[in-house]
Amino acid sequence: MPNISIAIDGPAGAGKSTIAKLVSKSMGIIYLDTGAMYRTVALKAIREGIDTLDREKLSSLVRDIDIKISYDGEEQRIFLEGEDVSGKIRTPQISIGASNVATIPEVRIKMVELQREIAAQNSVVMDGRDIGTYVLPNANLKIFLTASTEERAARRYKEQLEKGVKDISLEDVKKDIEYRDKNDSSRSFAPLSKADDAIELDTTNLTIEQVAEIIMKYAGELK
Ligand code: DC
């Protein structure tokens, strides 16, 4: 059977990764979190003291960057030059940095190359911002998840509290989300947008189980 690909796009906090994990698990295929790649580029830039919007420096930083993905069971691990940075890329500073580096065409071209390579070799559920529109325009199923800014901020805030992060406020989380929404949607190269043939689902008033049930119905039809 040829490889299948499922694209799940949408803004931060819309529920993409939770749903992508459920779908990949139930279908027995891999899940690729493409945001982790941009986060890893941002981590490297910040470690090297590079402004995450400096196109020239970022272009040269990604030219021969060594990013590898592996799977620990179903869990994706991401490695920067051999170091497992999966936990280190989940901070508010890296979220903003990732959104910044993701506006740079040279960074995107490099990341998309890696993403397409993985999709060429595996059946995959990929989540991101431009998967249905740019990375995998021929994906077998395209989903675009949305939710109100307030709801997305509340979800992210809860996640941070559960992780034990104390020095943040709901207002800060909301501001970060608004900054990223604007940055991700307004960039000129492969911005966050819904593909014409994507199924759009507003998750504001739905539970994860309800969203999963709707999407699994579509995914089940691919088998
Ligand atoms: O999904 P995430 O929050 O981990 O993504 C972090 C940032 O990376 C996001 O604000 C925009 C960027 N990104 C992107 O531009 N394209 C993708 N396919 C995935 C993420």
Closest C-alpha to 160, from 144, 146, 176: 176
Residue to probe by mutation, ligand 1, list 34, 108, 135, most atoms within 8 Å of CB: 34
Our answer on whether the CB atom of 97 is closer than 6 Å to any ligand 1 atom is no
pLDDT at 127: 97
- pLDDT(1) > 70: no
- pLDDT(38) > 90: yes
Query: Structural domain tally of the chain?
Result: 1
**Ranges assigned E (strand) in the chain:** 5-9, 30-33, 67-72, 75-80, 83-84, 124-128, 141-146, 199-202
Question: Is 11 within a domain?
Answer: yes
Task: Report the atom number in ligand 1 closest to the C-alpha of 17.
Answer: 1
Question: Is 126 within a domain?
Answer: yes
Question: Is 223 within a domain?
Answer: no
Our answer on whether the CB atom of 12 is closer than 6 Å to any ligand 1 atom is yes
Closest C-alpha to 13, from 171, 174, 190: 174
DSSP class of residue 188 equals S
Containing domain of residue 53, as a range?
Answer: 5-218
Our answer on whether the CB atom of 38 is closer than 6 Å to any ligand 1 atom is yes
Our answer on whether the CB atom of 35 is closer than 6 Å to any ligand 1 atom is yes
Rg (CA), the chain: 17
Mean pLDDT of 30-49: 98
- pLDDT(18) > 80: yes
- Edge-to-edge strands of the sheet including 141-146? 30-33, 124-128, 5-9, 141-146, 199-202
CATH assignment at residue 211? 3.40.50.300
pLDDT at 94: 97
Answering whether pTM is above 0.85, one says yes
Q: What is the DSSP string of 80-92?
A: ETTEE-TTTT-SH
The dihedrals phi and psi of 178, each to the nearest 5 degrees, come to -65, -40
Our answer on whether the CB atom of 98 is closer than 6 Å to any ligand 1 atom is yes
Our answer on whether the CB atom of 176 is closer than 6 Å to any ligand 1 atom is no
